Structure 1
Amino acid sequence: MNIAVEKPPLAADQQQRKAPLPTLTRRRLALYATGGLSVVAVLVFGGYWFSTGRFLETTDDAYVRADWVALSPRVAGYVAQVEVDDDQAVKAGDVLVRLQNRDYQARRDQAEAGVAEAQAALTAAQASQQVAVERINQQQQAILQAESAVHSAEAERRRSELDMQRYQGLVRDNAATVQRLESANANAIQARAALQSAQARQREQQSQLAMAKAQALLAEAQIKQRSAALASAKARHALADQDTQDTVIRAPIDGVVGQRRVRAGQYVVPGQPLLAVVPLHQTYVVANYKETQLAHMRPGQPVEISIDSFSSQHLRGRVASFSPASGNVFALLPSDNATGNFTKIVQRFPVRILLDQAEGGVQVLPGMSVVTTVDTRGEPADEQ
């Protein structure tokens, strides 16, 4: 017996839903999904650009720098000993190179002898001046004595002349003898002679006083001369001592030794490069930004730094300063655009960026290439 079995309507609907969609329908869904994702991506990117991206200025024309010091000798000589090796860390004041100092020590000893000789000559001149001063005092006392003798002789002359005049009157009146008149006359003559002798001694003492003053002036001039000679000798000694000290070359700053070209036994001259000291703890970044990127940059704004050698780590820094001119201005051969075939080129300006404390023990070395991103939303440090 054949019995026709009909499928339930519900089962038929399920089979229709399980049937594959037409190709056109699948393409349309994929297009809608792609469009939706694109719209979302555009919205996300637009939101990021509007809130953050438009304030970020990035350049890969940036490098790590350090104000390293090239050391050169101030005096010529043979290198006695090199105290440091390549890439060795040193502290300020550490001895780096020693030059042979025998000749310079001999010159210093000679200069010391010259100082002692000049000092002795100055002492002798000062003694001569003291002798001249004492002689002046002595002559002044002698002049006082000579003046007293002149006054005494003058008084004796007057007394003798008065006696002679009295005896002349007495002789005319026959009250005295001629012998007494002749004796009074002789006394007057002796008194005049004594006066002239006292006056001569006074002039002699005055002359000796003038000579003593002249000797004092000469001694004073000699003191000035000897003082100048002593100062010159001390200056020569200072130069000789400085040259002796310059045979020892020390590190001016903390850092690491690099470019060591000096070797023991080498003859060096003043100004010849020997080695360099690089202060790795004072590294900074110089980023060359286009002039069109500087409109909103200010000192103190935060900077994100990506070093090519450590691409997985990012450092932080701050904008320190801007160059007063573009790199082309300071170039050895700056370009001259005053020509007929002028082509405008966007210039770049060096921006100095100071690094914050390095994280994770990252060794930042001068010359490394970096990528810097300045957040121009950040307020300068002096305005916060």
Structure 2
Amino acid sequence: MEDSATSTPKTSTPVKKKKRGRVVSILFIILLIVGALLWGGFQLFGRLNYVYEYDARVGGTLIIVSSRVSGWVTKRAVEQGSEIKKGQLLVQIDSRESTLKVQHYDVKLQGVKAKIDRLAAERAMVERQINSRHDTLESEFQAAEAATQALKAQRKLAMADFERSQSLLERKIIARQTYDKDNMELQRLEGEVAEALAKQKAARAKLEEVEADRERLTVLDQQLSILKSQKNEYLVLKEQQHLDLRDRTILSIIDGVVDETFVEKGEYVNPGQRLILIHDPLDIWVDANIKETQIRRVKRGQTVLISVDAYPDKEFKGTVKAVGNTTTGKFALLPNPNPSGNFTKITQRIPVRIAVEQQKTMLRPGMLVEVKIIVDPIALSSFFRSK
């Protein structure tokens, strides 16, 4: 009896353990199903409300600073990683020869300016002399013309007296002496008129000679024009040399950082040679390549959540700025004409640019990022049809 009483509890213990294990298994399965449903619901919600893309990276305007002139590098004022300000010196190229050429053109300009001043003074003097002679001869001509007119009037009166005396002499009213006197007066006035006309003609000839002297002013004007053209040529050459001189002092055109340097002090550079690579850390964006099956849901102005591999605990916000009009495959260097006839359909990608605000220069061009574009939710039927 004691043996049977003690055997009953021993058989009931395995049964309880078996039931307990079955309950744990059922609860575990239920938890797995609930977890799978939650995960599936979360994934479905994300697919309906977001467009994900992992093929994305930070972009920026990388400026290659090149040389416009040739020469020896006498100074490189920055190093890789240096922060720079707009107008700060980057590279200095030997400028001694350019400085001497500028001084050479300064001397040339001074010589031409002296010639111009001398010719201008000579022209002014010649013009004053010509104007003075012209005024004098003009007065003499006018005086000769007035004297001629007066003598012509006297001759006309003497002619009338002579004709009257001749008529009276024929009628023997006057004496021969009176006729001869009037005749002599007329002859005298004829001579004076002729002399006055000669003086008037001489005065006119001198005036014409003075006017001919004005051709000398024309010659001087031409010489001045040639010198002024030469001066302008030297000014252009000097300005060109000034430009060459300024190009030898290479300054930064932006506030930014130095990404890479390509020259060292003492190297000889040629026009167009790369010297330094810089960029503005505030002028950045994100370029994402979105699948063509999802591009219809992407619109300008949509909010974008950005996660960066370098900062896994930091989330950035951006805005869709532009949606490309051509797939990335069209920009490939080697086109794929598919001459064999075998075709494998590959989903194409379309570039999308996302504006993002910089935060403490954390984002740098080339960094890999993941983007999540918040889009308008789509219906389940459309979602499964797209899949």
- TM-score interval, normalised by the smaller of the two chains: 0.7 to 0.9
1:273, distance to aligned residue in structure 2 (A): 0.7
Task: Name the CA distance, whole Å, in 2 between partners of 1:50 and 1:129.
Answer: 96
Contact 1:258 1:277 in 2 (8 A): yes
Amino acid at match of 1:257: V
* Secondary structure of residue in 2 paired with 1:292: coil
The corresponding residue for 1:296 is 297
The corresponding residue for 2:385 is none
1:156 paired to 2:151: yes
Residues 163-202 of structure 1 aligned to structure 2 (within 5 Å): 163=158, 166-167=161-162, 169-170=164-165, 172=169, 173=174, 174-176=176-178, 178=180, 181-182=183-184, 184-202=186-204
More helix as a share of residues: 2
Contact 1:290 1:347 in 2 (8 A): yes
Amino acid at match of 2:282: H
Residues 243-258 of structure 1 aligned to structure 2 (within 5 Å): 243-258=244-259
Contact 2:52 2:373 in 1 (8 A): yes
Relative to structure 1, the CA distance from residue 293 to residue 338 in structure 2 (aligned partners, 3 Å threshold; closer, same or farther) is farther
> After the TM superposition, which segments of 4 or more aligned residues of structure 1 sit over 6 Å from their partners?
14-17, 25-28
* Secondary structure of residue in 2 paired with 1:274: strand
The unaligned stretches of length 5 or more in structure 1 are 379-384
Task: Name the CA distance, whole Å, in 2 between partners of 1:219 and 1:234.
Answer: 22
Q: Deviations over 1:67-119 (max 9, x none)?
A: 11111111111111111222211111111111111110011112223333344
Task: Name the CA distance, whole Å, in 2 between partners of 1:279 and 1:159.
Answer: 102
Task: Name the CA distance, whole Å, in 1 between partners of 2:196 and 2:158.
Answer: 17
Q: Deviations over 1:185-229 (max 9, x none)?
A: 1342132122122123123303422542x4444455445444433
Task: Name the CA distance, whole Å, in 2 between partners of 1:335 and 1:123.
Answer: 74
Relative to structure 1, the CA distance from residue 303 to residue 123 in structure 2 (aligned partners, 3 Å threshold; closer, same or farther) is same
The corresponding residue for 1:275 is 276
Task: Name the CA distance, whole Å, in 2 between partners of 1:369 and 1:157.
Answer: 113
Q: Deviations over 1:327-347 (max 9, x none)?
A: 222233333357733433222
The corresponding residue for 2:369 is 370
Task: Point out the more displaced range, 338-347 or 103-112.
Answer: 338-347
Task: Point out the more displaced range, 109-118 or 172-181.
Answer: 172-181
The corresponding residue for 1:68 is 62
Task: Name the CA distance, whole Å, in 2 between partners of 1:105 and 1:289.
Answer: 56
The corresponding residue for 2:383 is none
Task: Name the CA distance, whole Å, in 2 between partners of 1:140 and 1:120.
Answer: 32
Q: CA RMSD in A?
A: 3.4
The unaligned stretches of length 5 or more in structure 2 are 378-387
Task: Name the CA distance, whole Å, in 2 between partners of 1:345 and 1:144.
Answer: 104
Q: Deviations over 1:303-336 (max 9, x none)?
A: 2222223333333322222233222222333333
The corresponding residue for 1:382 is none
Amino acid at match of 1:328: G
Amino acid at match of 1:108: V
1:268, distance to aligned residue in structure 2 (A): 0.9
Contact 2:71 2:269 in 1 (8 A): yes
Task: Name the CA distance, whole Å, in 2 between partners of 1:346 and 1:142.
Answer: 101
Task: Name the CA distance, whole Å, in 2 between partners of 1:123 and 1:344.
Answer: 82
Contact 2:147 2:196 in 1 (8 A): no
Relative to structure 1, the CA distance from residue 18 to residue 312 in structure 2 (aligned partners, 3 Å threshold; closer, same or farther) is same
1:260 paired to 2:261: yes
Task: Name the CA distance, whole Å, in 2 between partners of 1:373 and 1:229.
Answer: 67
The corresponding residue for 1:57 is 51
Among all aligned residue pairs of Structure 1 and Structure 2, give the percentage whose two residues are the same amino acid: 24
Residues 1-384 of structure 1 aligned to structure 2 (within 5 Å): 20-21=15-16, 29=23, 32-124=26-118, 126-127=120-121, 130-131=124-125, 134=128, 137-138=131-132, 139=134, 142-160=137-155, 162-163=157-158, 166-167=161-162, 169-170=164-165, 172=169, 173=174, 174-176=176-178, 178=180, 181-182=183-184, 184-212=186-214, 214-336=215-337, 340-358=341-359, 363-377=362-376
Contact 2:151 2:192 in 1 (8 A): no
Contact 1:161 1:185 in 2 (8 A): no
Relative to structure 1, the CA distance from residue 142 to residue 345 in structure 2 (aligned partners, 3 Å threshold; closer, same or farther) is farther
Q: Deviations over 1:38-60 (max 9, x none)?
A: 44234423443454442222222
Contact 1:115 1:237 in 2 (8 A): no
Aligned residues: 366
Task: Name the CA distance, whole Å, in 1 between partners of 2:64 and 2:276.
Answer: 6
